[in-house]
Amino acid sequence: MTSTDPLLQPFQLKHLTLKNRVMSTSHEPAYSEDGMPKERYRLYHAEKAKGGMALTMTAGSAVVSRDSPAAFGNLHAYDDAIVPWLAELADACHEHDCKVMIQLTHLGRRTNWNKADWLPVLSASPVREAAHRTFPKTAEDWDLDRVVADYASAAQRMQAAGLDGIEFEAYGHLMDGFWSPATNQRDDEHGGALDNRLRFTWRVLDAVRAAVGPEFIVGIRMVADEDMDKGLSKEEGIEIARRLASSGTIDFLNVIRGHIDTDAALTKVIPLHGMRSSPHLDFAGEVRAATKFPVFHAARISDVATARHAIATGKLDMVGMTRAHIADPHITKKVMAGEEHRIRPCVGATYCLDRIYEGGGALCIHNAATGREATIPHVISRTDGPLRNIVVVGAGAAGLEAARVLAERGHKVTVLEASSQAGGQVRLAAQNPRRRELIGIVDWRLAELERLGVEIRYDIWAGRDDVLAYEPDAVVIATGGLPQNPPLDAGDDLVTSSWDIIAGSVKPAENVLLYDDNGGHQGMTAAELIGKAGARLELVSPERFFAPEIGGMNHVPYMEAFHRAGVKITINTRVKSVRRDGNQLVATLSSDFAEGWSEERRVDQVVVEHGTLPLDDLYLELRPLSKNGGAIDYERLVNGGEIFPEKNPGGRFLLLRIGDAVQARNIHAAIYDGIRFGLRI
């Protein structure tokens, strides 16, 4: 049957037939090895191809020149060695009728000189980019000559690899650095009038077309409005789009709005939870209407309804759901099967991008299979071993994920939860109105467990006898942890936990000191809620910069809240002790850097955040009764084999603990524990 769903209609891009309107736009997951897209990179894209999308775009971006050093795992498009690796990736995606393109760029000032070969970083003019701390060199004529040639040879490599097309990045990089009045201060033939500012772009396009011929697909991801006073205006941006569309050298426009030279600006382009969804969709539609040309776009289009609307109303020709596919690479397949309700939601946490910008590989906050396709499946198969009766204690992130995976494998699973609701610390984090979307992590798993017939029993503070009553073959302890105080010389009984503030069980006082000796979302969330309650707040941290456990993009909304609430931030400082003085508290501060230094703060309330201690009483009680004594063979966990050593031949069940019941970590670690151990029982 022919579907009437707008998302499932084919799109003809020159000679290329895209089987539907769903794509993943170019982004760099930082899975490369030596600048090459090897197995991890290939499997990541192949999984999305299996999931039914029409087009996956690789790299964000692949660099065409040596003096464009990789800023976050970028592929080396200037190296001939990339061709066979890309060919293997393209073949893997083509098996599923998924087309493959790549994004090419010279990063310009969006990198740093102290990487790779330590070559000078280029831009149109020596205007610093704050995000990468770069003071770029002004590109000379010989620089531009060789970069143009580098673009052409890189395009030839992509064509030789069997890719279906390329797109250029003109969005905070070298090419659009010439377009923008904010970054182009030249007074030569490349500066001033728009014709001059486009001169380098036309040179690149002409050279690439000469190299790859007229039939190869060539597009451009372009900023059509920098949304800043000194930057490229909407009027000029749309004019550039018109000129490109009518030039005969470009086959599609991939449109974006905004600028990305600071963390705060980046989150307006790529919003996270608590910010607007699809903020630039209407703008992309304006560009399409103005150009009458194929337009692609992606910017927090995270749900199928919005994606369908974008196509049905003619705003876009292809809709990018890039972070959404990091959360669930099988979105299109589920739409085709009438199972939209089973799509794992992107909750906008942006853990994926924060990891990339902090130098790690992209990981989804609640899909631990993404980026680990070689060892963790996205679709859980039924076990070919014995079916077991398994008790999971705790219905937080780790316990819910373990229960889901175990049930998918065919085991009989019962979950025992002490509270009246599932979710644990995820539910606590979602108490911040700005982060309420996190509850999708819990809700999706509860829906899956209902589908799988898993029983969850609430309001049971499970003890040894409660567990043994089920006569389990295996017990998974996912009881999480409880907040602990930082080490204080005195005053343990006078401080308030960040959890109490977040949960609302303790109200912020008028004058508050928050001591965050953890550096994650917990302390920052408590601080945000205290500030929004109207309290006078000082946030004290022993770190060189505060909240090191969260990335730059998640940092932005916290800082906005802090500035609006007048929060004072003190770093490189510890709270040594707290004492009561009348109806106030006195916090004594100390320094790791200046022995003997101290100051005092007189406040109404001291709130502390120091992570959690495992809630492990039940685990310790069950250990002597278990076959493995709770032990795990880590070598076999990583490399394969039986992970439960036999410590007690007379034991009655296998026992393991996961998530924060082991140690204080984060949501992703809990989810990863749940799936990797669930696959091994």
| pLDDT tens-digit readout, 600-633 | 999 999 999 999 999 999 999 999 999 999 999 9
pLDDT at 462: 97
The pair of structure tokens assigned to 158 is 């992509």
Share of the chain above pLDDT 90, in %: 96
- Dihedral angle, C-alpha 646, 648, 652, 656, nearest 10 °: -60
Q: What is the pLDDT of residues 180-194, one digit of tens each?
A: 999 999 999 999 999
pLDDT digits (tens, 9 = 90+) for 249-281: 999 999 999 999 999 999 999 999 999 999 999
Name the β-bridge partners of 578. 587
Task: Please state the φ and ψ torsions of residue 575, each to the nearest 5 degrees.
Answer: -90, 120
Q: Which has the higher per-residue pLDDT, 73 or 2?
A: 73
Q: Find, among 61, 86, 91, 87, the residue nearest to 73 by Cα.
A: 61
Q: 37: which 2 tokens?
A: 């897209």
- Buried b vs exposed e over 262-289: b needs ≥16 C-beta within 10 Å? ebebbbbbbbbbbbeebbbbebbbbbbe
Average pLDDT over residues 398-414: 98
Residues whose CB is less than 8 angstroms from the CB of residue 369 and which lie 6 or more positions away in sequence, other chains included:
376, 377, 378, 675
For position 357, what pLDDT does the model report?
86
For 322, the enclosing helix (H) or strand (E) is: helix 322-327
| Token pair of 35 as six digits | 């600048």
Amino acid at 450: E
Which DSSP letter does residue 487 get? P
Strand pairing category for 389-393 and 11-13: unpaired
Q: Are 122 and 148 in contact (CB under 8 A)?
A: no
* HSE-CB of 104 using CA atoms within 13 angstroms: 29
Residue 115 has pLDDT above 90, yes or no: no
Is 134 a residue whose pLDDT tops 60? yes
Q: Give the Å distances, CA to CA, from 604 to 30, 174, 488, 496, 505.
A: 46, 53, 18, 11, 17
Instruction: Choose among 490, 533, 479: nearest CA to 511.
Output: 533
Strands 511-516 and 496-497, sheet pairing: unpaired
Q: If pLDDT is split at 50, 70 and 90, which confidence band does 116 have?
A: confident
Q: What is the mean pLDDT of the chain?
A: 97
Which residues contact residue 351 at a Cβ distance below 8 angstroms, ignoring those fewer than 6 apart? 363, 364, 365, 551, 667, 668
Return the structure tokens found at 74. Answer: 């970028």
Give the model's confidence band at 1: pLDDT under 50 very low, under 70 low, under 90 confident, else very high: low
Crossing angle between the packed helical segments 82-94 and 141-160, to the nearest 10 degrees: 40
Residue 464's pLDDT is: 97
Phi, psi for 65 (deg, rounded to 5):
-135, 155
